[in-house]
């Protein structure tokens, strides 16, 4: 018996693009301040949103991750500048909650994402892990 499993492969699941505005300070919330910028300028992501598919299904999406890179690149991104996506990394763990029968299988998948940040949008590609045999 092979005790080391073959590594899973990544299968593209979907691409998402979200328009963003400038950060808004909404003050203290019951669970603390919602925006966290670390000393090294890395940004921890913790976002929840609902999207509607082309065929009318609603997907609840929760993403957690981190955007990290050199202080200069991260400062440019935080102040509305642009940076080549090869100069930083922006990885996500994506969790889905879906009641729509056609997409319900996604609830049981481990999904990761690779994101990019432009001055007016965040975009990411989501992939699920699939066993290799």
Burial 99-120 (b: 16+ CB within 10 A, else e): eeeebeebeebebbbbbbbbee
Domains and CATH numbers, the chain: 9-130 (2.40.160.20)
Q: Cβ distance 125 to 15 under 8 Å?
A: yes
Residue 9, pLDDT score: 95
Residue 2, pLDDT score: 65
Residue 130, pLDDT score: 95
Average pLDDT over residues 100-118: 94
Residue 80, pLDDT score: 76
pLDDT 10s digits, 4-19: 888 999 999 999 998 8
Three-state secondary structure call for residue 74: helix
pLDDT 10s digits, 22-35: 666 666 767 655 55
pLDDT 10s digits, 76-104: 887 777 788 888 989 999 999 999 999 99
């Amino acid at each position: 018996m092979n005790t080391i499993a073959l590594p899973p492969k990544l299968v593209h699941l979907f691409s998402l693009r979200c328009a963003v505005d400038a950060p808004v300070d909404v003050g203290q919330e019951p669970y603390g301040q919602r925006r966290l910028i670390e000393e090294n300028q890395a940004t921890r992501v913790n976002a929840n949103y609902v999207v509607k598919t082309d065929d009318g299904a609603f997907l609840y999406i929760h993403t957690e991750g981190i955007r990290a890179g050199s202080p200069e690149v991260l400062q440019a991104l935080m102040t509305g500048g642009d940076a080549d996506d090869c100069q930083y990394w922006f990885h996500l763990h994506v969790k889905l909650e879906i009641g729509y029968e056609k997409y319900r299988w996604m609830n049981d998948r481990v999904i990761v994402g690779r994101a990019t940040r432009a001055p007016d949008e965040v975009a990411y590609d989501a992939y699920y892990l699939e066993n290799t045999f």
